[in-house]
Structure 1
Amino acid sequence: MPNSLNKSDALPPSDQHARQYAAVRNAHETELLEDYVELIGDLLKHQGEARSADVAVRMGVSQATVSKTVARLKALGLVSSRPYRALFLTESGETMADMSRQRHTIVLQFLRALGVSDSTARIDAEGMEHHVSQETLDIMRRFTLDRERCCS
């Protein structure tokens, strides 16, 4: 079988390769935290409160898992709460939630503009939003806006 690899398929230089993997590891470390603060922010906005039980149902995890993650979010200064009360975002948590929500919206709109069905786009955007660079987000946003202008 002939070698079908072209030059762009070659391994990148070692330092670039290491940066790629470091970026992925960093994204994995923060994505769960971003998902939680984004969801807490959305619950506050749409329901007026964010209870741990609601977070557990929407994340598809146990309340014990939510409690552990919320404790981590509190330690990082992203969330506050009082016993038997709802969860609240700190200023830092609000900033993280806003950034995560913006990234999510850009990726979701881009996938829809490509013709991906809404249900699939929602699932895919949930994972992709954490792994996309600012450069790629900017291009996705431009593509979506250009498409809206020309096709609406």
Structure 2
Amino acid sequence: MESFRQARNNRRSELVEDYVELIADLLADGGEARQVDIAQRLGVAQPTVAKMLKRLIAEGYIQQRPYRGVFLTDAGKELALVSRERHQIVESFLCSIGVSVETARMDAEGIEHHVSPETLEAMKRFTLKKASWRTHVG
């Protein structure tokens, strides 16, 4: 029963994390994250984005300023950083076991939200150990 509860919680947080990561990327790329850009990148309607932005404001991850777009709060920046790091660990792990870079990038997008902290740490250790081994052998 606990595994089902965990999976449901992970699915709920997955959308939040994806939005926050995307907003961070848009801000880094162009200094601006507008509702229209978010909708276009995600392939969803603007009302869908508006609803999620209200949720992100309520949860303290973003601030929305009239005519200026969306900005991350400190909590939003932290969540984006943690999400990106998790993605990179999973992607590196998949590459280290022989998955192509392109496939690892796509698969990591789904896996990163559902992997436990224990498994994530094991992936990180494995990847670091393998990288260290290659350095010493090569």
**TM-score of the aligned structures, taking structure 1 as reference length:** 0.83
**1:20 aligned partner:** 3
**2:44 aligned partner:** 61
**1:98 aligned partner:** 81
SS at match of 2:33: coil
> How far did 1:47 drift?
2.1
**TM-score of the aligned structures, taking structure 2 as reference length:** 0.91
**1:5 aligned partner:** none
* Counterpart code for 1:83: P
Over the aligned positions, Cα root-mean-square deviation in angstroms equals 1.2
> How far did 1:85 drift?
1.3
Identity over aligned residues, as a percent? 53
* Counterpart code for 1:67: A
Deviating above 3 A after TM superposition, structure 1's stretches of 4 or more consecutive aligned residues are: none
* Counterpart-to-counterpart distance in 2, 1:147 and 1:54: 39
**1:139 aligned partner:** 122
SS at match of 1:61: coil
* Counterpart-to-counterpart distance in 2, 1:52 and 1:120: 29
- Residues 34-73 of structure 1: pairs in structure 2 closer than 5 A: 34-73=17-56
> How far did 1:46 drift?
2.5
| Count of residues paired in the alignment | 135
* Counterpart code for 1:53: V
* Counterpart-to-counterpart distance in 1, 2:85 and 2:60: 21
